[in-house]
A and B are shown apart, each in its own frame.
Chain A
Amino acid sequence: MIELQNIEKSFTGQNVLNNINATFENGKTNLIIGKSGAGKTVLLKCIVGLLTPDRGKVLYDGRNVLTFGKRERLMLRREMGMLFQNAALFDSMSVLENVMFPLEMFSAKSYDEKLQRARFCLERVNMLDAQDKSPEELSGGMQKRAAIARAIALEPKYLFCDEPNSGLDPQTSLIIDELIHDITTEYNITTIVNTHDMNSVMGIGDHIVFLADGRLEWEGNKDNILDSSSKLLNDFLFSSDLLRKVKERGGK
């Protein structure tokens, strides 16, 4: 479980995050949603430790990371997996080598066991056939799947996904969403997904946090998001013509 308490962050005097309080439970797919510039990426970077908040606490299972020393922080990072917006696979390595990388760096297992684990992860994301390919030979969706396999190789307790569906078609996005959701429930991981994809919101949003102008505007789940009375959230949700028309027809 990850808890955020009174998180604040500003850049050159401009507040980007204002007093954010939220709890992300394990076994649930937690989504951070909001318009571009709402502070989603900054919040995710504060959670994973790429940025340090000006105020507040980030608690990983009750442990405040902001008080951690260098060594504790490194140990915590080995419990994390992250899926980046552009997959961030290592260009100089094949798909299998990418998945083997965290195992080779940190696992004390034998080479055969590491190989077996890497192949298991690739099979889990249905990418075993592409294990010898290099990242540039893969489509966007395949790169994301390979990156998920790499992220789960060390059996992380926490999984972070930054815009996992960006640049993907709706069908591939659904596959990636389902994969993230299945892995989260299967391994009881605390997953936080930063997205503005409405399909993800309605499909896998076990817990949703809506940010607007750096504030936590609304918190709930996919079942009650459409009943929200927040004008900012409704404007965000129904900003697409398709959803607006669906809502209008539903209203009739």
Chain B
Amino acid sequence: MRKVFARPESMKMFFRQFLREIYQLGVNSIPIVLLISFFIGAVICIQMKLNIESAWMPKFVVGYATREILILEFSSSIMCLILSGKVGSNITSEIGTMRVTQQIDAMDIMGVNSANFLIFPKITALIAMIPVLVIFSIGAGIAGAYAIGMFTGIMTPDDLTTGLQYEFSQWYIWCSIIKSLFFAYIIASVASYYGYCVEGGSIEVGKASTDSVVSCSVLILFADIVLTQLLMQ
């Protein structure tokens, strides 16, 4: 850990790596985040409509419940669980392959702090990009809910808008972002650790990739309980 968080030997190279990781880990994840969030937003809307529809319930409750689920759990926790599969396995396999093909040894021989050069930009880039992905996810989920409301006619956009705006608390958005920052750190650091410590060949890299996704998922779920308890009290 001390090696990872040391001062970079060359700030220019660090920023170059940082921008590369912003693109690779963050920008490249935007399409999958938008796609999944759009459809899940739509599905949540349908499920709410079907399951809590009652003469005693105002129609806007569907929009309200959809918003709360998206902001409080889906766009932070569940989206990060999905990202731990995409981004986590990407990080582990990239660093693991570098390890087994001696590229990390080559850096060490040159006197480069390989852990700092490879891992630190990934952690900082993912932490920098995750709030953007969370906001995109919330936006796409709400768009999905509107789309399903309009195309199937299960509810009017006005009812949905009323529900989405009902007793809105800005703090919930911040909670979502704060949680996602912790999850981003878990994904980048755990996945990097598994990749950096690989020994052997391609089979071991594959196994490390799977193990890192499992470990990230378990840690995210555990951290979710703790953070939700702390932030929502």
Contacts and interface: CB of A to CB of B under 8 A. Distances in A.
Interface of A: 48, 50, 74-78, 80, 82, 84-86, 88-92, 101-102, 104-106, 154, 160
A85 B103 contact: no
Contacts of B46: none
A160 B20 CA distance: 31
Contacts of A74: 111
Given A104-B13, A105-B10, A90 B109 contact: no
B203 interface: no
Interface residues of B, number: 17
A contact face: mostly helix, strand, loop, or mixed:
mixed
27 contacts: A48-B109, A50-B109, A76-B111, A77-B109, A80-B110, A80-B111, A82-B106, A82-B109, A82-B110, A84-B102, A85-B102, A86-B102, A88-B103, A88-B106, A90-B103, A91-B97, A91-B98, A92-B20, A101-B110, A102-B110, A102-B112, A104-B12, A104-B13, A105-B13, A106-B110, A106-B111, A160-B109
Interface of B: 9-10, 12-13, 20, 97-98, 101-103, 105-106, 108-112
B24 to A, nearest CB: 9
Given A105-B9, A106-B9, A86 B111 contact: no
A176 to B, nearest CB: 17
Contacts of B109: 48, 50, 77, 80, 82, 160
Contacts of A160: 109
Contacts of A78: 110-111
B103 A91 contact: yes
Given A48-B109, A78-B110, A104 B103 contact: no
A56 B97 CA distance: 34
Contacts of A75: 111
B10 A84 contact: no
Nearest to A89: B103
A88 B105 contact: yes
B41 to A, nearest CB: 35
A154 B103 CA distance: 18
Contact of A84 (B13, B98, B105, B112): B105
Nearest to A105: B10
Closest 3 CB pairs of A and B: A77-B111, A88-B102, A88-B106
A104 B112 CA distance: 11
A167 to B, nearest CB: 13
Nearest to A73: B111
A95 B97 CA distance: 19
Contacts of A104: 10, 12-13
Contacts of B10: 104-106
Contact of B110 (A85, A86, A92, A105): A105
A146 to B, nearest CB: 12
A33 to B, nearest CB: 21
Contacts of B97: 91
Given A50-B105, A78-B111, A102-B110, 16 more contacts: A74-B111, A78-B110, A80-B110, A82-B106, A82-B109, A82-B110, A84-B106, A85-B102, A88-B102, A91-B103, A101-B110, A104-B12, A105-B9, A105-B110, A105-B112, A106-B9
Contacts of B112: 102, 105
Nearest to A85: B102
Q: Which of B13, B20, B103, B111 is the most central at the interface, judged by chain A CB atoms within 10 Å of its CB?
A: B111
Nearest to A78: B111
A84 B104 CA distance: 11
Contacts of A106: 9-10, 110-111
Nearest to B8: A105
A74 B6 CA distance: 14
A82 to B, nearest CB: 4
Contacts of B110: 77-78, 80, 82, 101-102, 105-106, 154
A84 B105 CA distance: 9
